[in-house]
Chain A
Amino acid sequence: MNQFFTVDVLTVTIASGIALATPFLLAALGETIGQRSGVINLGVDGIMLLAAFATYYTALKTGNLLLAVLAGAATGTVMGVVTALVSVTLKAEQGISGIGVYLFGLGFSALLFQKLVGTPLPIATLPPVGIPLLEGIPVIGGMFFRQSLLVYLAFLLVPVVSFVLNRTTYGLKIRAVGENPAAADSLGVSVARIRWSTLIIGSTFSGLAGASLLMYGGIFQVNLTQAEGFIAVALVYFGAWRPVGVMGGALLYGLVGVVILTWKSLGIIPLNASDLAATAPAVITVLALLFLARRFRQPAALGRPYEREG
C-alpha cells in the first residue's frame, strides 16, 4: 500500500482518472441540459459511437485532429436535430425513441467501421498541453494541468453550464420549460424552441464526449463506448441535475476505476479478486448516492412531451 502513496503514483492516478472521467462528464453535462428542459435523451451512447467514428475516420483520412474533433461535435449536432425532431416536434415517447437512436448508432457505426476501415489502425491522439505557470506547481500541476485540450474544455464547461442554467434568462427559460411548460408557454416562452436548443447543445456535448473517448484510446472498434453513454445518463441522476454534482459523479466513477487498476498493478489487489474489484466504480457510485441521501427532485416535466391544452 505504501507504494500507492508516492507522489508519482498518486499524480498519474489522479491525472488519468480525470482523463478517464472526461467522456462521462461531457456526455452527462449535455444530458443535464436536456433534462433540465424536461427531455430525457437515452440515445447518448449511440450518439457517442457515431461521433467517435466520425472523429476516427476524419483523423485517419486527414490527419487533422482539430478537424476530427469538430467532425465528432458536428455529428453530435446532427443527431441532436434528429433527437429534437423526434422528441419535441413529433412528441415521441422519449425513453423508447432514445433506445432507437442508441440501436441505430450502435449498428450504423459498426457497419461504417467494418466497411470503410476494417482493420483497426491507430491515429495520433491529442497531446497533453501544459498550462503555463500552473503546470509548474509541484504535485498539483502534474495532476490537473498537463491534460489534453478536450479535458480542459470539459471541466471549463461545468461552471459555464452552471452559470447559464442559473444566472441567465436562457437558463431561466430552460428551467421553466422543464418545471412547468404550460406556465412558461403562457408567458410567451416557446417550449419547443427551448427544447430544440437544449437537445442540440446537449447532443453536441455527447459528440464531444465521443471524440474525447476516441482520443483517449486512439482507435475505434465496434461498440467502442461499452455503454458509457448510459453510465453518463446515470451520472445525471447522481448529480441531481446540477453540473457540479454531475462532475463529482464523473470524477468519482473515473477515479475509482483508475485506483482499482493501480492497486492491481501494484499487487495490492490479489489476482483472484480481480473480477470483483472491477465492480467497485459501479458499487461505490450507488453506495455514495445512498449515503448522500440527497432529496433533490427531478425537473417536474421530465420525460413528458408538451401538448398545449385546448
Chain B
Amino acid sequence: MSDREADRLMGVTVADRRADLGRFLLSWFAIPSALVVALLLGAVMMLVLGANPVTGYVALLNGAFGGSYALSSTAIQAVPLLLVGVGICIAFRANVFNIGGEGQIAMGGLAGAATALALPDLPSFVLIPLVLLAGAGGGAIWGAIPGIFKAKYNVNEILSTIMLNLVAVQVMNFLLAGPMVDQSPDSVGGLIPETKLLSPNSQLPILVPGTQLHLGVPIAVLVAVCVYVLLWRTSFGFQIRSVGLSRSASAYAGMPVKRTITMAMTLSGAMCGIAGAILVFGSISHRMVTDGSLTGFTGSAGFNGIVVALFGGLNPLWTIFSAFFFGGLIVGGSALQVATGVPSDLVTALSGIVVVLVVSLEYLRRRARARTITLAGPRAARPPRPPHTNAPSTADARGDE
C-alpha cells in the first residue's frame, strides 16, 4: 500500500500534511520568540540575584559553543538527549507516552557493561557493536514491559514507566554494589559502587584528538536518520503513525494495533538503551559508576529527551538540532555557574519556561494561520493535529480490548 492510498484510507488529507509543515515552520517563529522572552526573564533573575546578565550569557555561550573543545562537550552532552528524543519520537508517533527513559537508559548501560565484562577480549570492531546492541537490548526489555502491559492488560504506560524508573535505580545500585562491583584495590575492595575498568576494546574511540568528540556522536546521528527512514519510508513506520493517529481506524484497516504499540515502546526503550551504553563506553572514566541516583548516571536525559523531541517537532532529523541546542544549554549552564555564581538550575528553570512558551505560542500562530487559510477555502481550515499524549477517543481507548 502506498503512502498516498494509505493516507486516503486514513482520512489524512493534503491539508493535514501541509498543516504538519506549517506547524513546523511556525515553530521557527515560536521558538526564537520564546527564546527571547526566556532570555529576558533569565536576565531579570540574574539581576535580582546580583549577577551581571551579560557576563552570564557570554559565559553560557562560550561554555557551550565557543571553540572546538566546548563544541565537542556540547556534542557529547547532546548524544543521550538525541537518542532518547528519537525514542520519544517513535513512542509519541504511536501515541504512547514514554516517561521511562531514565530507567531504560540505566538498563541499557548495565546490559552493555555486563557484556563488556563478560567478553573483554573480543576485538574492537566486534565488541563495540556488540555492547551497543546489548545496550539496545537492555533498554528494549525495559521498554517492552510497559508496552506489553499496555497492550495486553490495559495498564496505562505513564503509570508503568514511572514505576519502572523506580525499580531500575535500585537494580542499578544492587548490581553495581554487588554482582558487578570492582573488587580490586582501585575501588578499595568494593566500597565504591562501580564496575572495574572496562575492556579498552569497548571504548568508543575519540575522533578528533584534543576534543571529546567520540564515535558515539556519529552513531547517534546515524540512528536518528535510520529512525526517520523507519518512520516515514517503511510500512512498519506507517503502521506506527497510523496507530498513533487512530487506533480504531488502524484496527479497521487490519493492522495489528497491540503489536504495534508494544513494538513502538520496545523500540523507544532500545533507543534509550543505546544512549545508556554510549554513556558508559564514551565516558571519560570508562566504567559504569553510580552515585545512588538515576540522574547521576543519566543527567536527566530521560526527561530532557522528551523536551528535545518536542522541539524537533517529533521528527528525528530535526531532533538532531534540538538535541545539540539543549546539550549546549546544559554545558553552558555549568560555565554560567562558575562565571557568575548563579546556580545552573537557572538554565533548568529557563528551559521549562521556553517549553511552556513554545507550546503556548504554537496555538496563537496556528489560530492566525487557520484564519488566513479559511479565506482561501473551507476545506483547508482544519486545524493541524498536535501529537496527543493519550488515547484520542473513547473508542480508541478501548479499541484494543
Whether A and B touch directly in their complex, counting CB atoms under 8 A apart, is answered as: yes
Contact of B348 among A101, A103, A281, A307 (CB under 8 A): A103
A282, B158: Cβ atoms closer than 8 Å? no
CA distance A86 to B386 in the complex (A): 15
Q: Is the CB of A298 within 8 A of B356?
A: no
A279 contacts B by Cβ under 8 Å: yes
Residues of B within 8 A of A (CB): 45, 49, 97, 99, 149, 153-156, 158-160, 162-167, 170-171, 173-174, 177-178, 303, 306-307, 310, 342-343, 345-356, 359-360, 362-364, 383, 386-394, 397-398, 401
CA distance A99 to B347 in the complex (A): 15
How many residues on the A side are at the interface (Cβ–Cβ under 8 A)? 59
List residues 77-101 of chain A with CB under 8 A from any CB of chain B: 82, 85-86, 90-97, 99-101
Q: Using known A-B contacts A103-B355, A234-B158, A290-B153, determine if residue A108 contacts B349 with beta carbons closer than 8 Å.
A: yes
B349, A114: Cβ atoms closer than 8 Å: no
B363 to A303, Cβ gap below 8 A?
no
6 interchain pairs, CB-CB under 8 A: A91-B363, A234-B159, A279-B170, A282-B163, A298-B391, A304-B388
Report if A107-B346 is in contact (Cβ < 8 Å); known contacts: A93-B359, A286-B160. Answer: yes
- A114 engages B343 (CB within 8 Å): yes
Decide: A302 near B364, CB < 8 A? Known: A96-B355, A234-B162. Answer: no
| Interface of B (DSSP majority class) | helix
Residues on the B chain within 8 Å of A281, using CB: 166
Which residues of B are found within 8 Å of A283, using beta-carbon distances?
Answer: 163, 167
Contact of A106 among B160, B352, B353 (CB under 8 A): B352
Question: In the assembled complex, which residues on chain B have CB atoms less than 8 Å from the CB atom of A227?
Answer: 162, 165
CB pair A86 B356 closer than 8 Å: yes
Q: Is A131's beta carbon under 8 Å from chain B?
A: no
**8 new A-B contacts at CB < 8 Å, known A96-B307, A101-B352:** A46-B352, A95-B97, A100-B355, A102-B352, A106-B349, A234-B158, A235-B159, A297-B398
Q: Is the CB of B170 within 8 A of A275?
A: yes
Complex formed: what's the CA distance from A90 to B160 in Å?
30
Write out the residue numbers on chain B whose beta carbons fall within 8 Å of the beta carbon of A300.
393-394, 397
Of B156, B167, B171, B303, the residue contacting A99 (CB under 8 A) is B303
CB of A275 within 8 A of CB of B349, answer no
Contact A307 B45 (CB under 8 A): no
The answer to whether A295 and B154 touch across the interface, beta carbons within 8 angstroms, is yes
Residues from chain B with a CB closer than 8 A to the CB of A46 are: 352
A10 contacts chain B at the CB level, 8 A cutoff? no
Closest 3 CB pairs of A and B: A107-B348, A104-B352, A100-B355
Q: A304: nearest residue on chain B (CB-CB)?
A: B388
Contact of A279 (CB < 8 Å), options: B167, B394, B401: B167
**Binary CB contact string for chain A from 213 to 255 against chain B (1 if under 8 A, 0 otherwise):** 0000000001000010011011101100000000000000000
Contact A103 to B166, CB < 8 A, known contacts A92-B360, A272-B178:
no
Q: How far is the CB of A297 from chain B (nearest CB, A)?
A: 5
Decide: A231 and B162 in contact? CB cutoff 8 A.
yes
Smallest CB gap from B387: residue in A: A93
Complex-state Cα separation, A45 to B278, whole angstroms: 29
A115 touches B160 (CB 8 A): no
Q: Is the CB of B307 within 8 A of A298?
A: no
Report yes or no: B390 in contact with A302, Cβ–Cβ below 8 A: yes
Distance in Å from the Cβ of B362 to the closest Cβ of chain A?
7
Q: Say how far A282's CB is from chain B's closest CB, in angstroms.
A: 4
Complex interface: chain A residues within 8 A of B386 (CB): 93, 305
Please, which residues of chain B bring their CB within 8 A of the CB of A305? 363, 386
Nearest B residue to A38 by beta-carbon distance? B390
Query: Quick check: B347 and A107 within 8 Å, CB to CB?
Result: yes
Docked CA distance A278–B163 (Å): 12
User: What's the least CB distance linking A291 to chain B, in Å?
Assistant: 10
Chain B residue numbers with a CB within 8 Å of A289 are 153, 155, 159
Complex: how many Å from CA A221 to CA B165?
22
CA distance A25 to B170 in the complex (A): 24
